[in-house]
Amino acid sequence: MAPPFAPAFHGPFGKGAADPTMDVAQQPKKRSHMDDSGSWDIVKATQFGILERCKELVDAGYDVRLPDKENVTLLHWAAINNRAELVKYYISKGAIVDQLGGDLNSTPLHWAIRQGQLPMVIQLMRYGADPSVADGEGYRALHLAILFQHMAIAAYLMAKGQEVDGPDCNGQTPLMLAAQKIIGPEPTNFLIKNNASVSAVDKVNRNTPLHCAVLAGNVDAAHILLDAGASVDAENINGHTPIDLAHQVHSPLLIHMLNAVKRERIRSNSRCLRIVNRYRVILQVLLCTAMFGSVGAIVDMNSESWLLKGVLLACVIGVVNLAMRHLPSPAFQSLLPAASLVASVFWMLVTWFLWFLPDILVLEENLTRQYDSYCTDKEADESAALLQLRRLRGEAGPPLGLDQRLHRCEEPSLLHPVPAGARVHGSLDVLRLSRVLGVVRNLVSFFHLRCCGLVKPAVIDWTQQFPPGREQPLFGQADLV
């Protein structure tokens, strides 16, 4: 006998169908089922949807509520084969929409759900089919939809008021059935998204959905339930937790998963960790700032011992590693790049404002004063040099202006016979060169670059090199002629 949810068809769909491996010439000619439907009984006509034949037999006196020899009514056959017109006709003739039949003592709605006929489910419920009726196995309409993984039908039933945690005759919820009897994440995930309870227990063994998933070895369902907050410490009627059942079924993966979740939840219940999670952004920024500052301070230590620096760096790395191990949450670690950037910018600003900026301001002020003094001294020295040259030439006259003196000083007739003028200009060039040490050397000296301790530059206090109150002579006594 064919199962009630997969009826045997006759003709081209059943046992009389042609063998596809048979030669085309040997196959019998296909005939339409309409050719000889006039001799069919009402069950076969219902299965194939021959409305006229069914009407003919019903008009002849056939009772539509009468089950066949398999205890199946015509409405069952019409529902499982999605014969909408016949369902409408049989109900109009007095068929009982919730009549039980078949080996599983199911209603036509149950048959349509098992077969995944969503339009037929909608039609039967419009005619008053009750989805809360249980079949011979104790399953209701929503339980069957989940067992056969017809999510569209399950969604329709819940939209029509079926409770997502409604128990069957054994006290099992649809979530328990999905975790225990379905290998795959889709039904469990679907029920969790529709707020199914992860703490409900059945009537027999007091098992939760997580117990059912562990007993079935359903790793996907167990993972979804744990993410939804299912308890790993809940005990069934025998006092067994999901971890105990995982040891009984000898599943190392489930044992590792459950123990890891249990440890993580114990840590998350700590008051300290709750505070850390609340202020994790600030703490992450402070941690990165402290780490960068510590590394910079150790590298820039005024010590020649690389062993000491290495030990201190290893201690800093160990502390950071320990902190990251105790804060393994993805939300905390996802802030690491942003926190590192903020810490880097912070130390750049601190270095600029507290280290370089004061020296730059003082240096700028001293350079301005030295430049003004240099210009004044240069004018006086050039006047004295021109006056000395005129005396050597035996010239006399009123004092000349600065431009005239410079033009006079540059004339070959004045400078050629007196080599001392060359010494004057040479002294100026030597003075300029002595103050320019080169770009690289000036930068190393100014920024006090140590290159991680490899170089120890001479520390020069530029504010004391040329104090503003002391004049710097441009010419020594030997340069005067």
443 or 84: which carries more pLDDT confidence? 84
pLDDT in tens, 339-393: 888 888 888 888 777 777 667 777 777 777 777 777 787 777 777 777 777 777 6
74, 78, 79, 83: CA torsion to nearest 10: -160
pLDDT at residue 325 above 90? no
Cβ 148 vs Cβ 179: under 8 Å: no
**What is the C-alpha to C-alpha distance for residues 78 and 92, in angstroms, rounded to an integer?**
14
Q: Where are the domains of the chain?
A: 1-162, 279-334, 347-479
Q: pLDDT-derived band of residue 398, with 50, 70 and 90 as boundaries?
A: low
Nearest to 182 by CA among 156, 157, 208, 219: 219
Is residue 370 within 8 Å of 466, Cβ to Cβ? Answer: yes
Return the pLDDT at 446.
64
The mean per-residue pLDDT over the stretch 95-124 comes to 94
Encoding tokens for residue 360?
A: 């730059």
- The pLDDT confidence band at residue 452, using thresholds 50, 70 and 90, is low
Beta strands in 119-205 (DSSP E): none
pLDDT at 420 over 50: no
Q: For the chain, what's the residue count?
A: 481
Structure tokens that stand for 471 in this block:
């004049």
% of the chain residues with pLDDT over 70 = 70
At the top level of CATH, the class of 1-162 is mainly alpha
What pLDDT was estimated at residue 393? Answer: 66
For residue 66, give both structure tokens: 């009468």
pLDDT tens, position by position, 113-168: 999 999 999 999 999 999 999 999 999 999 999 999 999 999 999 999 999 999 99
Contacts of 70 (CB under 8 A, 6+ apart): 1, 4, 102, 103
Determine which of 165-174, 386-395, 453-462 has the lowest per-residue pLDDT on average: 453-462
Per-residue pLDDT, 454:
57
> Which of 183-187, 229-233, 450-454, 459-463 tops mean pLDDT?
229-233
